[in-house]
Each structure stands twice: as C-alpha cells, then as structure tokens.
Amino acid sequence: MGAPNKEPAAGMVEKRGHALWLTHVFMILGVLIVFFPIWLAFVASTVTQADIVSPPMPLLPGEHFLDNYKRALLSGVNHAVELTDYGDGYRHRENYHFSVVGVCHCLFSLSWQDRFFLAYFYHPDVTG
C-alpha cells in the first residue's frame, strides 16, 4: 500500500488555515444580513404600533403576537386608512429610493457571495 495522496484533486481549491474560517465567517455574516430584515418584520408584527414608532425598536418578539395575528386574520381592516399629503411627494420618492438601493445592494452582495461559494467549495455536480 502506498502513502495517501496529500495533493488536492485537480480543479479544487485548497482549504487550510485562516482562509477556511474566513470563508465560513463571510457565509454566516451574509445569512445574518439577509435574515435580519425578515426577523425585524416578524418582531414588528408582534408588538404594538406605538412600540414600532418609538425608538429603539425592540429586537425580540413582543407579547401581542396572538392579538395582532388574530386581528389580522379574522377581522381584517374595518377602518379607513389615513392618507397624508406630502406636498410634492418628496418623502415618497425618498422612501422609494432607499428601498430600491437596499434591494439592489442585497442582490449585489448575494451574487458576490454565490460566486465566492462556488469558487471555494467543491461541488461535484457543478464542477464535474
């Protein structure tokens, strides 16, 4: 029996030392960045409106979970929504701008994370 082959297979990137941990840190950080807005929306659905608009917004679910979901699912909207006139629509454009920039930033960062993942982790189905 010969000695085990220590050379990496052709087409594989060696994963050693700090680079291995760094790749995992970046992947976990990317997942947390993507998951945080979803978590914040869930937390906002479990607290009162007064808790949402008064800073700082809580990061843990509130005690109004059952009340809010029961009201949303069973009663719906039974009152007119107050529409505020923003004059020239500046605030609307500002909110739209930040939303678009945020979505583009998330998509861009996810595409880079996908490239990083495909380059540094071995995928026999993809790379052959």
* Structure confidence at residue 16 (pLDDT): 67
pTM (predicted TM-score): 0.48
- 30-65: per-residue pLDDT in tens? 899 989 999 999 999 999 888 888 888 889 998 988
Whole-angstrom Cα distance, residue 107 to residue 99?
12
Residues 6+ apart with CB under 8 A from 120: 13, 15, 23
In this structure, are residues 50 and 28 in contact, taking their beta carbons and an 8 Å threshold? Answer: no
Who wins on pLDDT, 76 or 67? 67
Q: How far is CA 68 from CA 41, 48, 106, 107, in A?
A: 13, 8, 29, 31
Whether residue 109 is predicted with pLDDT greater than 60 in this model: the reply is: yes
**pLDDT: is 30 or 116 the higher one?**
30
Rounded average pLDDT over 68-78: 75
Q: Determine what percent of the chain falls in helix, strand and coil, rounding each to the nearest 5.
A: 60, 0, 40
Q: Taking a C-beta distance cutoff of 8 angstroms, is the pair 73, 54 a contact?
A: no
Cβ-based neighbours of 12, under 8 Å, separated by 6 or more: 122
**Lookup result for tokens 């087409």:** 11
Could you state, in order of their start, the residue ranges of all structural domains in the chain?
17-74, 89-128
